[in-house]
A and B are shown apart, each in its own frame.
Chain A
Amino acid sequence: MLSRTFPIRETILAGAIVVLLALIASRFAGFIAPSNLARVFNDTAPLIILALGQMVVILTRCIDLSVAANLALTGMAVAMINVAMPGLPIPIIIAIAIMLGAVMGAINGVLVWKLSIPPIVVTLGTMTIFRGIIFLISDGKWVNSHEMSPAFTGFPRAEILGLPVLSWVAIVTTLIFAVMMSRTPLGRSIFAVGGNPHAAVYTGIDVGRTQFQAFVISGALAGLTGYLWVARYAVAYVDIAGGFELEVVAACVIGGISIAGGVGSVGGAVLGAIFLGVVKNALPVVNISPFWQLAISGSAILIAVAFNASAGRKKGRIILKSAEVTS
């Protein structure tokens, strides 16, 4: 019984990551030292968090291109709040970041839900608007590390059990998503809406509202990542994470999340992000030009899509009784 295709896909991707690591290790053994792997993971954490949000959106047959702009706007906003009120406790900063991000996600969601504008158009528009707002509120100026409070920049780097908080946030988000997607009515609805929207309607699931919820989730995670990003790099400016939304979508696609919706898994999204993270961190180490990095990421996307397309191809009906037993 090989009907559960998700673990197979994930196993293959995990295998690809192991092979990649082995190849790199053959030229530079230090790369696979535990401390370095932890560093790579920490570096990939924002991508993992955003990929999980994007996964939910893609599963409902939408796409969110505004995540990076949302991240940058939230990051700028909380950085400016920190400059204005250095005493504000970090939990409140985080709450503000998540809420701001969720509001921006809700704007996307409402436009898709109530006005039926195609998601790619909506988020392309809001992406530009969010970047514009950053310029307006910051006057195009940077917020630099000396202006931020030590607590603000210290939080993502603080270590718990040997791992930075940033890594822990990615791990906890992954666990929450694993439970949400498999064990809550919302998670089930998200799969149903993407898998067969018509059927979902008759089942009593509101397709538009589910898509709205997906955008809010994606936005909230982008907001959270916005604070973590700005605090980790200790700088906020207009062009932060420029073009990062494409990397996020790429992580999802490599992770086997079907761009047509309805098919995908938390494990896939995380592994897709880690694959890109490894490629990005390893290539400079083994002296491969960053331009090759782009080519390799691009090839990985095409291979992943081709692989998923061939796996999803119709196998034909099971008519023979003998085939039914062995399938």
Chain B
Amino acid sequence: MAERAAPVDAPVVSMDAITKTFPGVKALDQVKLDLYPGQVTALVGENGAGKSTTVKILTGIYAPDGGTIRIGGAPVTLNTPNDASRVGITAIHQETVLFDELSVAENIFIGHAPRTRWGLIDRAEMHRAAKVLLDEIGAPFATHALLRDLGIASKHLVAIARALSVDARVVIMDEPTAALSHKEIEELYELIETLKSQGKAILFISHKFDEIFRIADRYTVFRDGAFVGEGLIADIDEDALVRMMVGRAVDHIFPDREQAVGEDILQVAGYDHPTEFADIGFTLKRGEILGFYGLVGAGRSEFMQALFGITRPSKGVTLINGDIKVIRSPADAVAAGIVYVPEDRGKQGAVIGLPIFQNITLPSLKRTSKSGFLQLAEEFKLAREYAERLDLRAAALDQDVGNLSGGNQQKVVIAKWLATQPQVIILDEPTKGIDIGSKAAVHEFMAELASQGLSVIMVSSEIPEVIGMSDRVIVMRDGRIVAEVAGDELTPETLVRHAAGITAAQLQEA
């Protein structure tokens, strides 16, 4: 394609030295991103690299803490989504953010519908204009159709029609193919070509390398919230791109662990779910840390929740110490010695309103009660034991847990689980969204648990953490286990290849 070669135009959007900090986390650090008219720029990076934050800044949802955004050379501030749409930036999200109960035409024109003389919405004109837009992009449905009756691909078309209706100059596509079939993806590619020919600048975010190399003209790589590099797709191969994504300086020391794993503790076989995962089976040994790596949406958390009895798999067998355990509910799992520390600890962790000691004893109420009545002395004893073990800083154990700092609340949640004396602990994204210092503390602690003979399953999307902590790593993709990696094979490149579905053969070609 000839027009790919020479980027003579000036960028239509230019982000420079953009910084965004959330409490305790630097999400973006001095990043730059340029988007050119008539070209597709792929934004590439691991989970947590700062791609979503960038999209939210461009669409006016977050305000950056520092840096400048230029549109056509002039600096702008995008404080609200309205500001973004006024300068011609529009986004098509992974899960479409449109209105299910409204018609296609209403969705396209919501907020800027044509008006009659009396200030009312001119429905006839709206449907006529919508029809023109839909024809332009080859959409096969009526303007009167309700959005909820459309498939995801059609919803994307509506979003694109909406982008055209506001005369967008910049179209952001955040993993647009995630839920599309092969044919629908091809149609999307054609549409992207149409948009390109109209001179729109497109920001394309995807984890799938085949898509990036198929559709993008340029790439920009972020890693850990920092800009790594940019260039023309024509000048790079997959291997080099993977290296840019994952390669990093050692900025974090992981605890040294004696790899002395014992006998099999947990055996899982044949876990199937009609829509989320299939054929999951593995073994976990005493004192082992088993990493679960994959892209977001690979089915890792979904499987773990099934293992824990929250969602029931249609089939699947769990053995603990060689005995079959029937796990139909979380209570069964806790009784069998499995506990699950979920990802969103704010939402799923501490019970605000209950005092610290009652939070800690919540899963152990059977143990702290005698003939149906709770024994307060027992509860305090149990709570104190684990609070001390975790160095919990609280004035008193009957203090409301809501008054504790985030880090201490997290300790309460972990103390709660340890108090059940589990054999297997599942940690779902244990360090997501916490600062470097706290991360190190969590890693220390995880290593200590393993050294005490507890078996740990760690679901993590952070490659350094997976490699630094795990004895063995299972990689999942599209709901299936695609690889088990250990020892020398445990490198960032291997993990990314398996997770993104790049075969060795493809890499040889590249």
Which residues from chain A sit less than 8 Å from chain B, CB to CB? 1, 3-5, 179, 182-185, 188-189, 191-192, 195-196, 198-206, 262-263, 317-319, 324, 327
Tell whether, in the assembled complex, residue B351 and residue A202 are in contact, meaning their CB atoms are under 8 Å apart. Answer: no
Query: Could you say which of B334, B348, B403 contacts A327, with CB atoms under 8 Å apart?
Result: B403
Further contacts, 11 of them, CB under 8 A, given A183-B374, A198-B342, A202-B342? A1-B395, A3-B399, A184-B369, A188-B358, A192-B351, A195-B351, A196-B350, A200-B362, A202-B308, A204-B363, A262-B351
Given A199-B349, A203-B363, A318-B405, A183 and B373 touching (CB < 8 A)? yes
By beta carbon, the residue of chain A nearest B362 is A203
Would you call A192 and B396 a contact (CB within 8 A)? no
For residue A59, which residue of chain B has the nearest CB? B353
Are A199 and B350 neighbours in the complex by a CB distance under 8 Å?
yes
Query: B252 near A: Cβ within 8 Å?
Result: no
Do A185 and B365 form a contact, CB below 8 Å, given A1-B395, A3-B399?
Answer: yes
Distance A299 CA – B423 CA, assembled complex (angstroms) = 55
Interface size on B, residues (CB 8 A): 40
Q: Does B214 contact A (CB under 8 A)?
A: no
Task: Name A204's contact: one of B334, B344, B353, B396 (CB within 8 Å).
Answer: B334
Q: How far is the CA of A201 from the CA of B363 in the complex (A)?
A: 10
Instruction: List A contacts of B88 (CB < 8 A).
Output: none
Given that A1-B396, A203-B330 are known contacts, is A188 also in contact with B348, CB under 8 Å in the complex? no
Bound CA–CA A296/B14 (angstroms): 62
Complex interface: chain B residues within 8 A of A201 (CB):
310, 330, 348
Check B366–A185 contact: CB distance below 8 A.
yes
Contact: A317 with B348, CB < 8 Å? no
Closest 9 A-B residue pairs measured CB to CB? Answer: A204-B331, A198-B348, A185-B365, A195-B351, A195-B353, A196-B351, A204-B334, A204-B330, A203-B363
**Contact string against A for B residues 174-190, beta-carbon threshold 8 Å, 1 for contact and 0 otherwise:** 00000000000000000
Which residues does chain A contribute within 8 Å of B372, judged by CB atoms?
Answer: 184-185
Q: Which residue of A lies closest to B361 (CB)?
A: A188
In the complex, which residues of chain A have a beta carbon less than 8 angstroms from the beta carbon of B369?
184-185
B residues within 8 A CB of A192?
Answer: 351, 354, 362
What's the minimum C-beta distance from A7 to chain B, rounded to whole angstroms?
Answer: 12
Q: Can you list 14 pairs linking A and B with CB atoms under 8 Å apart?
A: A3-B396, A4-B400, A183-B376, A184-B372, A185-B369, A185-B372, A192-B362, A199-B348, A201-B310, A202-B341, A203-B363, A204-B334, A205-B331, A324-B395
By a CB distance below 8 angstroms, the chain B residues around A206 are 329, 331
Contacts of A198 in B (CB 8 A): 342, 344, 347-348
| Contact partners of A189 in chain B: CB under 8 A | 365
Given contacts A184-B369, A204-B363, A262-B353, contact A5 B400 (CB under 8 A): yes
B354 and A191 contact, CB distance less than 8 A: yes
CB-CB < 8 A to A202: which residues of B? 308, 310, 330, 340-342, 348
Question: Judging by beta carbons under 8 Å apart, are A200 and B374 in contact?
Answer: no
**Chain A residue at smallest Cβ distance from B358:** A188
**Across the interface, do A263 and B353 meet the contact criterion of CB distance under 8 Å?**
yes
In the bound complex, CA of A119 to CA of B329 (Å): 23
* Residues 374-408 of B contacting A (Cβ, < 8 Å): 374, 376, 395-396, 398-400, 403, 405
List of B residues within 8 angstroms of A191 by Cβ? 351, 353-354, 358
Residue of A nearest to B368 (CB): A185
